[in-house]
Copies of this chain bind each other. A is one copy, B any other.
Amino acid sequence: MEKKIITISREFGSGGRTVGRMVAERLGIPFYDKELVDQIALESGFAPKFVEENGEHSPGSSLFSYAFAHQGIPGVMNGLSTADFLWNIQCSVILQLAEKGPCVIVGRNADYILKDRQDALHVYVFADIPFRADRIVRRYGESDKSPEARLQEKDKRRRVNYQHYTGRNWGQSQNYDVCLDTGVLGIQQCVDIICGIVERSKTEMTPEEKNL
């Protein structure tokens, strides 16, 4: 089955977004990351910054646990918590984007939301703490928290969100088709492997190739 939709789930700082962007450029297909946030914001009525900060985070975390007054039409959230409301919109937007045609989607539990699409390739990208700590400092600069603490906090929020909405264990290999350590393999090679898999999926495998 030809793989047309590529979902990339990633540990913070692993370079998963860069991998996704490069794969999309190489394959000449749309890359949904910031665009996804904007679309969810548009459909939910929340500010893009709010969606960006909370869409992959623990439903019980920080401000997110408060009952926000929705900015749009009263009653539009149908009694759902802000987190659940955002999750529903996120599912709907991701399903629609996948329907539109080939694309790369980064984050937002897209692997789970599109798990039933046979034409989707689900990738998990990770790396060890030193690689990621070095990378986030070079990319996003220093902050008053240590890079390690920033990684742990962000990973924890993504993990809790994933578990809450999918019932699955974040980073468990069986949830994906391929998992790649960017620290060991390098980002360029991860892009090559993913594009190679997509290319190969265009021709049907022989029974021997599939299952020797």
Interface residues of A (CB under 8 A from B): 15, 18, 22, 121, 124, 126, 128, 131, 135, 169, 171-174, 176-182, 184-189, 193, 196-197, 200, 205, 208-212
> CB distance A126 to B187 under 8 Å?
no
> CB distance A177 to B186 under 8 Å?
no
Task: Give chain B residues whose Cβ lies under 8 Å from the Cβ of A200.
Answer: 189
Task: Give chain B residues whose Cβ lies under 8 Å from the Cβ of A173.
Answer: 124, 126, 171-173, 176, 179
Task: Give chain B residues whose Cβ lies under 8 Å from the Cβ of A174.
Answer: 126, 128, 171, 181
Q: How many copies does the complex hold?
A: 2
> CB distance B188 to A209 under 8 Å?
yes
Task: Give chain B residues whose Cβ lies under 8 Å from the Cβ of A197.
Answer: 185, 189, 193
CB distance from A15 to the nearest CB of B (A): 7
Q: Beyond the given A135-B211, A178-B181, please list 16 additional residue pairs across the A-B interface where CB-CB is below 8 A.
A: A15-B212, A171-B173, A171-B174, A172-B173, A173-B173, A173-B176, A174-B181, A176-B181, A177-B185, A178-B185, A187-B211, A188-B208, A188-B210, A189-B209, A193-B196, A196-B196
CB distance from A94 to the nearest CB of B (A): 20
CB distance from A50 to the nearest CB of B (A): 30
> CB distance A188 to B205 under 8 Å?
yes
Task: Give chain B residues whose Cβ lies under 8 Å from the Cβ of A177.
Answer: 181, 184-185
Task: Give chain B residues whose Cβ lies under 8 Å from the Cβ of A193.
Answer: 193, 196-197
Q: Which residue in B124, B187, B205, B212 is a CB contact (below 8 Å) of A210?
A: B187
> CB distance B205 to A186 under 8 Å?
yes
Most buried by B among A135, A174, A177, A189: A174
State A177–B209 Cα separation when bound (angstroms).
23
Identity of the chain B residue whose Cβ is nearest the Cβ of A21 in the assembled complex: B212
CB distance from A16 to the nearest CB of B (A): 12
State A209–B182 Cα separation when bound (angstroms).
10
> CB distance B185 to A15 under 8 Å?
no
State A22–B172 Cα separation when bound (angstroms).
26
> CB distance A188 to B171 under 8 Å?
no
Q: 15 interchain pairs (CB within 8 A)?
A: A15-B211, A18-B212, A169-B172, A171-B172, A173-B173, A176-B179, A178-B180, A178-B185, A186-B209, A187-B211, A188-B205, A188-B208, A189-B205, A193-B193, A196-B196
